[in-house]
Amino acid sequence: MPTIAVDAMGGDFAPEEVVKGVAQASLETDIQCTLVGDEAQIQAALDRVPYNPAHIAVRHAPDFISMEDDPKLALRHKRNASVLVAARLVSDGEADAVVTAGNTGAAVLACSQQFKTIHGVRKAALASVYPRQTEYPGQDQLALLLDVGATIRCDATDLVQFALMGSAYARHVSKVPSPRVALLNMGVEEGKGGDVLVSAHRRLRTIPGLNFIGNIEGNDLAKGKADVIVCEGLLGNVVLKLLEGLAEVVVDLAGTARRENWRWKLGFFVLANSFGRLRDLTDYTAYGGAPILGFEHLMIKSHGRSNARAITNAIKVAAKAVRDGVTREIAAAIERL
Amino acid sequence: MVLRRSMQRQRARLHPIVFRWDLDKTYLKSEFDSLRQLVRVPFEKAQDKVAVPGVGPLIKGLRETATQAGREVRVHFMSASPPQIAKAIRQKLALDGIEYDGIVFKNQLQHLVRGRFRNLREQVGFKLTELLKSRPDMPAGAREVLFGDDWESDPIIYSLYADILAGRIASDELGDVLRTIGVDPRLIAEARERAAAAQREEAVEKIYINLERRTPPTMFRCFGPRLVPTFNYFQTAACLFEDGYLTLPAVVRVAEAMVQDAGYTPGSLANSLADIARRGHVQATTATAVREYLRVRALMPPSGRRSIRSVLWQRLKPWLKPKRGSAAPRAEAIDYHALVTHWRAAR
């Protein structure tokens, strides 16, 4: 059974919600978790919830990096920050993957400091899942979008590598046998989007074994046409935040309208099931987190506002990725390139 | 610390010791969460009954350790199950090779016939009066260690019993508390009578609660340090070793049973030990002694490569952050009225 190092001090609701999530995982699964952070705070939080001590270890880390900290500076000065110690446990072979809900920049930097990049990989990618329409029964309701913020700007080679990494991850974790990979662009035509995207398109088309379906536009993102969408970090991050914000606005508008008059209330009652489904689909707590791909080891970056459920799911995703050898699969795909 | 442990062992040699065990969910993994399971219990044969992992070697180890020290030892069981299943239970204990000196069952049929339906589910009155009833039969000056679980009211029953013997709870207060709990007035009268007759002594040394329901440990803080909630019998064994009631070879046998019967690994045993140490129920030095002894026997993971800072921190931690000791529980008064209200509300 894999061992997952969990950054207990990362996230808006740490350590309580993180510890609660680990405690829940200890009751539901056989996954071994190592909680990394202030031992006294961790134990105090553990004492308040049901848990199975056989599946939980605690590693003391006196420092932590807050959401406001500058990642570079913080990692330089806080050598025993929880996220760094958690990553160190993996590089020392005491754990197999890391889960953190803390500062994204610090998480990516901790990976680059502690983990080796997969041979041939130039830049890491932060991947995220988002809900989309399904085209056939049994199709995964989630698509994978990468990069969503690990790298600001990319060249064609980076995008090609992201496509291979995303495809390998989706094949194992989302159980899509031959994931359809698309490039996010401003048009479906091959020549759109500038040199980088044109070059990436040309190279992706020639890779054997990769199910590349071409370019995809923003309005097709939610339609389920592709399983893996590739873009540079800046664009990916904007898209992801836009989707999150849009879902929140829709649910919020519905709530406000319901309070306005009885007709809206009635309408809301009729559509309640659909709104509930929309909320469930956009509920990040159900998906666990975003994997940071490109390193020999895996780190799952959960949402900063993660609650216990999100952490439990992130641990399950990490364990599944370790069990399925996702990083080995990525390495093999890059080597074939 | 060494001096204190030596004193504990000295004390352990002086007094006879009684280990009292609840049966269901403490010794036996009784399943009666549903009506179907409840109906099945009376028809279960001895070989169908399953003991909680590690409990058998633990009881044997307690008797063996006390006997080796030349100390008079008794093991008693108490069950809220009806005497109709006594035969299967006795056979099960025989199958497991458990020697015991007494076993009490609850006569549910009698309550049913007399129409005392409330008494069928209510355990506090029954168990408390049975404990008080049997106390005069114990050897003079006997110390007691009590074992229960978190399913019903064992923490309250055992704490009341300990405080009655220690003279910390007055007869009127006892009556009020038992009334609040909803105990049958006849049993309240009997409990008060027996409490008044009981010899005043600090007889109960520890109360171990098996967290079968995984109740959060913080729920038990109101019972004071005398009560130790443990998630498995390996944790209990580590505490009993610290108190001088078990030897390290006996702790090893408990650990081996956990591996064999419950799929524990060296890693999960190490995690369990670290947890009970973090919760302050065993000293860091005791945990280290257990860890090293088990490591030689491949029951703990090999010590990994660790940084100098980490090793130093582990060495210095017991000195910098002294933890609450387990061996000398404070004889503090418990506010039973508040406790009963809090306990019931929380559950």
Say which of B278, B309, B313 has its CB closest to residue A43. B278
What is the identity of the amino acid at A233?
G
Q: How far is B301 from chain A (nearest CA, A)?
A: 11
Note whether A214 and A188 are within 8 A (CB): yes
Number of Cβ within a 10 Å radius of residue A247: 18
- Does the beta carbon of B153 lie under 8 angstroms from any beta carbon of chain A? no
B266-283 CB burial, b ≥16 within 10 A, e <16: bbbbbbbbbbbbbbbbbb
- Does the beta carbon of B210 lie under 8 angstroms from any beta carbon of chain A? no
Note whether A285 and A307 are within 8 A (CB): yes
The ipTM estimated for the assembled molecules is 0.84
pLDDT over threshold 70, residue B5: no
Q: pLDDT tier at B41 (50, 70, 90 boundaries)?
A: low
DSSP code, position B333: P
Strand partners, A63: A81
Say which of A55, A80, A92 has its CB closest to residue B271. A55
Kindly state the tokens that stand for B269. 């045993």
User: At residue A303, what are phi and psi to the nearest 5 degrees?
Assistant: -60, 145
Predicted confidence (pLDDT) per residue in A272-325, tens digit: 766 666 666 566 676 778 899 999 999 999 988 899 999 999 999 999 999 999
Predicted confidence (pLDDT) per residue in B62-102, tens digit: 999 999 999 999 999 998 888 888 899 999 999 999 999 99
pLDDT for residue B325: 44
Say which of A52, A56, A58 has its CB closest to residue B214. A52
Note whether A26 and A52 are within 8 A (CB): yes
Cross-chain Cβ contact A53/B271 below 8 Å: yes
Number of Cβ within a 10 Å radius of residue B154: 25
> Could you give the count of Cα atoms lying within 13 Å of B47 in the half-sphere of its Cβ?
0
Cross-chain Cβ contact B278/A58 below 8 Å: yes
Mean pLDDT split into 10-residue runs, chain A, 337 residues: 95 95 97 97 97 97 93 92 96 96 94 94 90 77 89 92 94 85 94 93 93 93 89 92 80 73 73 66 71 95 92 94 92 85
Tell me which residues of chain B, numbers 278 to 337, contact chain A at a CB-CB cutoff of 8 Å.
278-279, 304-305, 309, 313, 321
Note whether B238 and B290 are within 8 A (CB): yes
Q: pLDDT tier at B326 (50, 70, 90 boundaries)?
A: very low
Which residue's structure tokens are 């590690």? Answer: B54
Q: Express as a percent the part of chain B with pLDDT over 90.
A: 64
pLDDT for residue B304: 63
pLDDT for residue A323: 93
Q: pLDDT tier at B327 (50, 70, 90 boundaries)?
A: very low
Cross-chain Cβ contact A50/B304 below 8 Å: no
Q: Distance between CA atoms of A136 and B241, rounded to whole angstroms?
A: 62
What is the identity of the amino acid at B154?
D
Cross-chain Cβ contact A56/B309 below 8 Å: no
Q: What length does chain B have?
A: 347
The angle formed by the CA atoms of residues B80, B83 and B89, to the nearest 5 degrees, is 85
Note whether A144 and A128 are within 8 A (CB): yes
Contacts across the A-B interface (CB distance below 8 Å): 56
Residue spans of alpha helices (H) in chain B:
2-14, 35-40, 55-68, 86-95, 108-113, 118-121, 124-134, 154-165, 171-181, 185-197, 233-242, 248-262, 266-278, 284-296, 308-320, 336-346
Cross-chain Cβ contact B214/A55 below 8 Å: no
pLDDT for residue B152: 82
Q: pLDDT tier at B109 (50, 70, 90 boundaries)?
A: low
Which residue's structure tokens are 């991050």? Answer: A237
Predicted confidence (pLDDT) per residue in B153-203, tens digit: 899 999 999 999 999 998 899 999 999 998 989 999 999 999 999 999 999
Chain B, nearest residue to A35 by Cα:
B271
Q: How far is B214 from chain A (nearest CA, A)?
A: 5
Note whether A124 and A208 are within 8 A (CB): no
Say which of B214, B270, B278 has its CB closest to residue A51. B214
Chain B, nearest residue to A20 by Cα:
B216
Chain B, nearest residue to A49 by Cα:
B216
Chain A, nearest residue to B277 by Cα:
A43
What is the identity of the amino acid at B231?
F
Q: Which residue has the higher pLDDT, B204 or B47?
A: B204
pLDDT over threshold 60, residue B8: no
Q: pTM of the prediction?
A: 0.86
User: At residue A155, what are phi and psi to the nearest 5 degrees?
Assistant: -105, -175
Q: How far is B148 from chain A (nearest CA, A)?
A: 18
- Does the beta carbon of B108 lie under 8 angstroms from any beta carbon of chain A? no
Kindly state the tokens that stand for B331. 């004889």
pLDDT for residue A167: 94
Q: Distance between CA atoms of A197 and A3, rounded to whole angstroms?
A: 39
Q: Distance between CA atoms of A216 and A127, rounded to whole angstroms?
A: 17
Domain boundaries of chain B, sorted by first residue: 2-346
Q: Distance between CA atoms of A216 and A221, rounded to whole angstroms?
A: 7
Domains and CATH numbers, chain A: 1-121+294-337 (3.40.718.10)
User: At residue B182, what are phi and psi to the nearest 5 degrees?
Assistant: 100, 30
Kindly state the tokens that stand for B282. 């065993």
Predicted confidence (pLDDT) per residue in B264-306, tens digit: 999 999 999 999 999 999 999 999 999 999 999 999 998 765 5
Cross-chain Cβ contact B218/A47 below 8 Å: yes
pLDDT over threshold 80, residue B37: no
Q: Distance between CA atoms of A216 and A185, rounded to whole angstroms?
A: 6
Does the CA dihedral A176-A177-A183-A187 come out positive or negative? Answer: negative
Which segment of A171-180, B44-53, B118-127 scores lowest on mean pLDDT?
A: B118-127
Kindly state the tokens that stand for B72. 């008079």
Chain B residues with CB under 8 Å of A92 CB are 304-305
pLDDT for residue B206: 97
Number of Cβ within a 10 Å radius of residue A313: 23
Q: How far is A45 from chain B (nearest CA, A)?
A: 10
